[in-house]
A and B are shown apart, each in its own frame.
Chain A
Amino acid sequence: DIVMTQSPDSLAVSLGERATINCKSSQSVLYSSNNKNYLAWYQQKPGQPPKLLIYWASTRESGVPDRFSGSGSGTDFTLTISSLQAEDVAVYSCQQYYGTPYTFGQGTKLEIK
Chain B
Amino acid sequence: EVQLVESGGGLVQPGGSLRLSCAASGFTFSNYWMHWVRQAPGKGLVWVSRINSDGSSTRYADSVKGRFTISRDNPKNTLYLQMNSLRAEDTAVYYCARGTGFGVLDIWGQGTMVTVSS
Contact = CB atoms under 8 A, between A and B. Distances in A.
A55 B47 contact: no
Given A101-B62, A102-B103, A93 B44 contact: yes
Interface string B36-72: 0100000011110010000000010110000000000
A20 to B, nearest CB: 19
Interface residues of B, number: 21
A100 B62 CA distance: 10
A61 B2 CA distance: 15
A81 B108 CA distance: 23
Interface residues of A, number: 24
Contact of B111 (A38, A49, A105): A49
B108 A51 contact: yes
B44 A106 contact: yes
Interface of A: 38, 40, 42, 44, 48-52, 55, 61, 93, 95-98, 100-107
